[in-house]
Each structure stands twice: as structure tokens, then as C-alpha cells.
Amino acid sequence: MSVALDENMSGLADADARLAALESAELTAQKASGAGAVPTDQAKPDAGKPAAADPAAAPGKQEAQTPAKSSTDTPAAADGKSAPNSDTKDNTPAAKPEAGKTDAKSNYTKSQERLERTWDNVNKRKGDLDTREQQLTQREQQLQQREAQFKDQAERAQQPQHKPEDFERAAQLKLQRAQSLHQQADGIEARAKKLEDDGKYTEAAKAQEEAKGIRKKAYQEEGNAEDLKAHAGELRKNPPPTQAQRDQQLETQRKEWTTKAAAEFPDLAKKGSELQTRVAKSLNELWNTDRVLASHPQIIYYVTKLEAAQTAAARVPAMEKELGELKAKVKEYEALTAPGGEGAAQRPAAGDQARTDAEERAELGQMAEQVGTIR
């Protein structure tokens, strides 16, 4: 797999060095595997001794060291007797690939895969950085445009909304328009004169009427030009306020109406009060829907008045409930204090005789005498 990358990219030299090291390690492993193979002549056992299996031998070399199936190939024992024949079955394991080459190939494949993943990550990272750089460039351009707009607005705020030169320029355009209309009217009048000389009186009358209408428009343009010139002279005598001055006037008026609202509704000046929270929320909603209305100096007063009325209206149901409970208590107390009621003074029992006035006076006199005796 070939990947086209920038030669100046950081990390490319390290990756090349790492690949060269892996290739060198592969060649070294292959050489070591070839040098470690045992020759056939050296693998034969000494005379008079049985062949011993070498467990450390590579699996790929066992086929060359395996004795043949013939009995004549069996070496003689030390005592001169023949050794028993080996099994006729072939127990030699199947040939296997050399372990050194297999491992080297596997390592090379893995290194290639790791290298490809590394380059893929590098390319992905490079793409992310390019995208980020483009976004930052666009953001920088937007900020520059916004800064230029703010600067332009600040410069215009220091100047009057309309200059006297603007009105004089408009007056000059009006005069040019009036002059053009006069020339047009002159041409129509000349055509009407010719028609009249030719005896075409009806067409001549229509032309005269058309010329009068155009002449009237010319006079109107001249009058407008005179008005514009007069207004330009007035502006020179009394320059209009700048945008900054108008903003200052609006801010002053806004403070006056805010003070008036706080005087009539004291809760507006209390930090964190319900009325203050409701008024702020309403003003924010109005600003999102109609900024011209929200910028009016008097808007805070009328929004506060509306929110106070809505808050009072929301308390009406609770107040009506409380009023009903109080009326019920009043009726209960009236029942308790009414004559003959449950809580009224008890009348004398039916068995008691009512006293006459004379008896009561006599009793009072006795009490007075007793009081005098006590003194």
C-alpha cells in the first residue's frame, strides 16, 4: 500500500528509520535460521552407538535426520549383535515450515500493518488540522467584518444624521428637475401654437392643457428646492444632535420613567422581588420580538404597571376565599352575642318572681345605709 504524504511532514524520518530497522531484523533472523541448520554428515551417530534424537533440532530438519525404513541402515551394537528392527510404520512427523521464517514473516506483516495504521492516523490528524485551520480563518474574517461595522457605526454616531450639504444637494436636483420640466412645457406650447396656426384648435387646446400641467409640476419642484435650501440654512445655524447625543437623551428619559415606576411601585426597586423578576422577563421577551418598542423610554413604566395589575389580579381568588371565611366568623360571633342566643345572658328562671320598682328602691336604700354604717 502506497500513501502519498508531504515530505516535510514531521515524523516521516522516524517512520523510515523504524521500517529500515524492521527489515534489518528480518534479514538477521533469516541468516540465523540458515546458519543454525545441522549438515547431514554431522547428524550421523558415531559407530557402535545408536542414534539419539536431538530435541532442540528444528522441526523443519527432522525429515533429513530420520533413518530409513530398511533394517540394513540400523547401526550395529557394541557387542556385535544386531539391534532389533524398527517399526515398519513411519512415525516421522510431517514437514513443517521453518519457525524462524514464519516468525519473521509474521513480524514483518504486523510491522507493515502498524505502519499503515500510523500513516492513516497521521493523515486523519492532518485533515482535522486543515479543517480546524479553515474554521479559524473564517472566524477571523467574521470578527474583522464585525469590527469594521462597529467602527463605522461609531464614526456615524459622532456625526449628525443629516448634514446641510445633503439638503443643498437635494435642492439642486429639484432645480434641475424643474428646469427639465420647463423645457418640456416650452416644447409642448410651441407645438400647440403650430397646431393653432394650422387650424387644429381642438388639438392645440389639448396641448396647451398638457403644457400647463407640466409647468405646474416644474413650479412645485422649484418650491421644494427653496424649502430644502431654507432648511439647510437652518441646520447651519442650529446643528442637529449627533447619534451619541440622541442616545444620551433617550437614556436620560429612560431613567426618569424608571424612577417614576419605582416611586409608584416600590417592589420594583427591591432586588429579587417578584415584581422585579416579572418586569425583567417581560422586557426580555419584548426585546426579542420588537426591539424598537422595547427601546422606548416609557416602556418600563407601562410594563411595570401591567405586571403589578396582573399580580394583584392573581391574588383576588385567595382574597375572596379569605373574605368568605371572615364573613362566616362574623356571623358566628353575631349569633353568640345576640339576645337569646347561645352565648347571650341567661334570663331568670321561670320560678323566680320579678321584683317591682319599689322593692328594688328599698333594697338599694338598705345597701346605702349599710355603706354609711360601715364608714
Divide the 375 residues of the chain into consecutive groups of 10 and give the mean pLDDT of each group: 54 72 79 55 43 42 42 42 44 48 66 83 87 88 84 65 84 93 93 90 92 93 92 86 81 92 90 90 90 89 91 82 83 76 51 65 73 52
Contacts (Cβ under 8 Å, ≥6 apart) of 260: 301
Which run of H or E residues covers position 374? helix 357-374
- Both ends of the chain: CA-CA distance in Å? 138
Rounded Cα distance between 225 and 232, Å, is 11
Q: Which three cell numbers stand for residue 341?
A: 342566643
CA quadruple 282, 284, 286, 291: dihedral sign: positive
Q: What span, in angstroms and rounded, lies between the C-alpha atoms of 22 and 113?
A: 13
Closest CA to 344 of 353, 336, 334: 336
User: Residue 216 and residue 178: Cα distance in Å, rounded?
Assistant: 10
Residues 6+ apart with CB under 8 A from 250: 295, 297
CA distance 337 to 344: 5
Task: Give me 246's grid cell.
Answer: 440622541
E-state strands within 156-286: none
* Phi-psi category of residue 77: left, alpha or beta, with phi > 0 → left and psi -120 to 50 → alpha: beta
User: What CA–CA distance (Å, rounded) separates 277 from 271?
Assistant: 9
What's the full length of the chain, in residues? 375
Rounded-to-10 torsion of CA 46, 49, 50, 52: -60
Quote the pLDDT of residue 258.
92
Q: On the CB side of 184, how many CA atoms lie within 13 Å of its CA?
A: 15
Amino acid identity of residue 138, one-letter, is Q
Q: What is the pLDDT of residue 176?
A: 94
The confidence score (pLDDT) of residue 191 equals 92
Per-residue DSSP letters for 107-151?
HHHHHHHHHHHHHHHHHHHHHHHHHHHHHHHHHHHHHHHHHHHHH
d(CA 103, CA 29): 9
Residue 54, SS3 per DSSP = coil
Cα 289 to chain centroid distance, Å, stands at 19
| Cα distance between residue 268 and residue 258, in whole Å | 9
Q: Rounded to an integer, what is the distance from CA 84 to the centroid of its chain?
A: 93
Query: Are 48 and 77 spatial neighbours (Cβ–Cβ below 8 Å)?
Result: yes
Match 403644457 to its residue by C-alpha cell. 211
CA–CA separation, 20 and 26 (whole Å):
10
Q: Is 203 exposed, middle or buried (0-12, 13-18, 19+ CB in 10 A)?
A: middle
